[in-house]
């Protein structure tokens, strides 16, 4: 087993397991099965979000495993995210407290700003994606990303989270935060896979000491039909990936994950299938050669599967993509 890639040392000295379980779109009962399967398979990093509305189900399983002695809290790395409706600085502390209550935890290991655009808050904590009449997101009348960040920093000082990060942020947004930060972001969680390799963002963040956490690392095959296009390429069917998988006796998903790990990223493949969850962490017993890495890097199809989020806030100054 290649131990060197099993965790990443963050800029604040903490260690983050490099493979985590993604839980976007995982309904409550399914997510319980998924988290149990993940913990049994050796995962210690679980990624969720206020917006996913499954923190309570995840919290139940975490408590079940902690109380039975199957896992220790200090061995877990739990990530959740500030929703866009709670980005007003006065709402930030209350928002993490709502998440912690659902997760049944005193603190999370990493707390992210989910998206750089603040949405209008109408007092309803369940209305996480308020819409305008034309179906776009209802944007908050005023917002200031740097003021939101300062409110996030207080959470570290209060012991409610050990680390802070961002998600779906552009290079300039990460740079602006780093310039004023007392507690720097340790990661930027973004879409990243063979068709959207994020080379420029990765290099810029690396210079700032910010890691990249890749969501959709195997190309998000389970994303909703409403955001799929007929001509979307399928990462696991890419001939280069299939050829390499065959050579090592691995699945295409394992090769896709290994490629990102060797690039120095953290990956959070999402699955609710116990067999796939087990398979997705078996990525530390083989190495891709430089030639294979270059071959994968040379795939010239470029496609983002999540750029619709930018279209939902098209005229906003903080639209990241």
**DSSP result, 9-77:** E-TTS-EEESBEEE-TT--HHHHHHHHHHHHHHT--EEE--GGGT-HHHHHHHHHHHHHTTSS-GGG-E
| Whole-number Å distance between alpha carbons of 242 and 216 | 18
Burial bucket for residue 69 (CB in 10 Å: 0-12, 13-18, 19+) = exposed
Burial bucket for residue 212 (CB in 10 Å: 0-12, 13-18, 19+) = buried
- Cα–Cα separations (whole angstroms), residue 321 to 126, 141, 304, 312: 26, 20, 10, 11
Cα dihedral across residues 146, 150, 152, 156: positive or negative: positive
- Cα–Cα separations (whole angstroms), residue 180 to 145, 146, 243, 294: 11, 8, 46, 37
User: Phi and psi (nearest 5°) for 311?
Assistant: -65, -20
The catalytic residue among 52, 65, 111, 195 is: 52
Indicate if 65 belongs to the active site: no
> Nearest-CA neighbor of 188 among 215, 217, 167, 163?
167
**Residues labelled catalytic:** 52
């Amino acid at each position: 087993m290649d131990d060197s890639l099993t965790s990443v040392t963050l800029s604040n000295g903490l260690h983050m397991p490099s493979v985590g379980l993604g839980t976007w779109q995982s309904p409550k009962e399914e997510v319980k099965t998924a988290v149990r399967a993940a913990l049994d398979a050796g995962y210690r990093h679980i990624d969720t979000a206020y917006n996913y509305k499954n923190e309570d189900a995840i919290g139940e399983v975490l408590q079940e495993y902690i109380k039975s002695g199957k896992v220790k809290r200090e061995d877990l790395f739990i990530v959740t995210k500030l929703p866009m409706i709670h980005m007003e600085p006065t709402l930030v502390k209350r928002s993490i407290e709502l998440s912690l209550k659902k997760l049944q935890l005193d603190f999370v290991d990493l707390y992210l700003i989910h998206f750089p655009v603040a949405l209008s808050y109408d007092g309803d904590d369940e209305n996480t994606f308020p819409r305008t009449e034309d179906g776009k997101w209802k944007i908050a009348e005023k917002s200031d990303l740097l003021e939101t960040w300062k409110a996030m920093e207080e959470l570290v000082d209060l012991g409610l989270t050990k680390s802070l990060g961002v998600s779906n942020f552009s290079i300039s947004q990460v740079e602006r935060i780093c310039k004023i930060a007392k507690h720097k972001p340790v990661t930027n969680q973004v879409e990243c896979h063979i068709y959207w390799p994020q080379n420029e963002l990765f290099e810029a963040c690396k210079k700032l000491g910010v890691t990249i956490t890749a969501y959709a690392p195997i190309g998000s095959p389970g994303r909703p039909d409403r955001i799929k296009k007929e001509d979307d390429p399928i990462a696991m069917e890419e001939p280069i990936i299939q050829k390499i998988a065959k050579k090592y006796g691995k699945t295409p998903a394992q090769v896709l994950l290994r490629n990102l790990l060797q690039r120095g990223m953290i990956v959070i493949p999402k699955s609710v299938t116990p067999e796939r969850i087990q398979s997705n962490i078996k990525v530390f017993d083989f190495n891709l050669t430089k030639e294979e890495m270059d071959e994968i890097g040379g795939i010239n199809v470029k496609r983002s599967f999540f750029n619709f989020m930018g279209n939902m806030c098209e005229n906003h100054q903080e639209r990241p993509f």
